[in-house]
Amino acid sequence: MLVRFASYILPLLLLAACSSQPSKVDEQPEQLVESTEESKADESTAEDEADEKEESENADDSAGADSMFKRGLILMKGKRYEPARDLWLAASERFPNYAGVWTNLGLSQYHLESYDEAKESLSKAIEINPQFCAAHKTMGLVLRELGDFKGAESSYITAIECAPADGNVRRNLGILYDLYLLDGRRALEQYEAAKKLYFAKDKNLEIWITNLKSRFPDPEPEEPVASEQPANGEGVTGESAQEVPASSDETSSSDSEGASEAKEAAEAEAANDSGDTTADAQVTPEQGASE
């Protein structure tokens, strides 16, 4: 009976242990670009006039791009990544100036574990539009798989800067810190930021936050350490630092023991009169003038 009970509880313990740590499957790479309008890079046009033929061709191109986008999105959402990759490759040849086409191509290549090709596609998207957040977000995933953890961190941070409300980027950056850069404190910071940005509860996120908080509790505030008073008033500016002269009887005494006692008394009085010992830390005008 005990053996049966132990064999039953072991899988439960394993499941609990697995859920306390993030993994690759916990990442959220889906950042499909859904239309040509949001993927087209901003372009300043110096030509104000165009003939009707060119306008018609542009309209046909836009309609063709929208049609390919719709088909590509259906394939991606159905997790049919190979035909999706082939479609986005064809789209990149026909519409090479759309950052969204290159981003979706890079995302399909990421899912097929073609990380070098994905990096090239995403680099092309960023070249077309450096402010294209989806490309930076996906690049973070790709660079992490290529072992470039610092590059992945930089890509995530860029994505956060251009899309600060995207909780998924914060979540993925937290996983990078947690599992790959082994920086639990910064991971906790990103997980908590992601939690604030999510409208729905993320149970895994809650578990990871609880786990990291148990490992990295908030440090207790340090009590101020009283600074030591200088014994002889040296280094203290102001009137309080003036030397207290010894009496004539003390300086002229031939008795070494009496002189020692007089010196100790004078030093003690100087220490008591010295006041705030932080005066020697003040910046002089000469120091403040130099950069």
Model confidence over 114-139: pLDDT tens digits? 999 999 999 999 999 999 999 999 99
Euclidean distance between the first and final Cα of the chain, in Å? 78
DSSP readout, 120-136?
HHHHHHHHH-TT-HHHH
**Shared-domain flag, residues 77 and 199:** yes
Quote the pLDDT of residue 37. 52
Quote the pLDDT of residue 198. 85
**Shared-domain flag, residues 32 and 76:** yes
**Shared-domain flag, residues 239 and 206:** no
| Residue appearing with tokens 């949001």 | 38
CB 212 within 8 A of CB 177: no
- Which CATH number is 99's domain given? 1.25.40.10
The range of the structural domain enclosing residue 252 comes to 233-275
**Shared-domain flag, residues 238 and 211:** no
- Quick one: average pLDDT of 217-246? 54
Quote the pLDDT of residue 275. 43
Strand partners, 40: 98
Residue 76: enclosing H or E segment and its boundaries? helix 52-77
**Shared-domain flag, residues 167 and 31:** yes
Does pLDDT of 250 surpass 60? Answer: no
How many domains does the structure of the chain reveal?
2
pTM score, two decimals?
A: 0.61
- Residue 100, CA distances (Å) to 17, 36, 65, 130, 199 in order: 39, 7, 11, 12, 26
pLDDT band at 65 (very low <50, low <70, confident <90, very high): confident
Residue 45: CA atoms inside 13 Å, Cβ hemisphere, count? 6
Rg (CA), the chain: 34
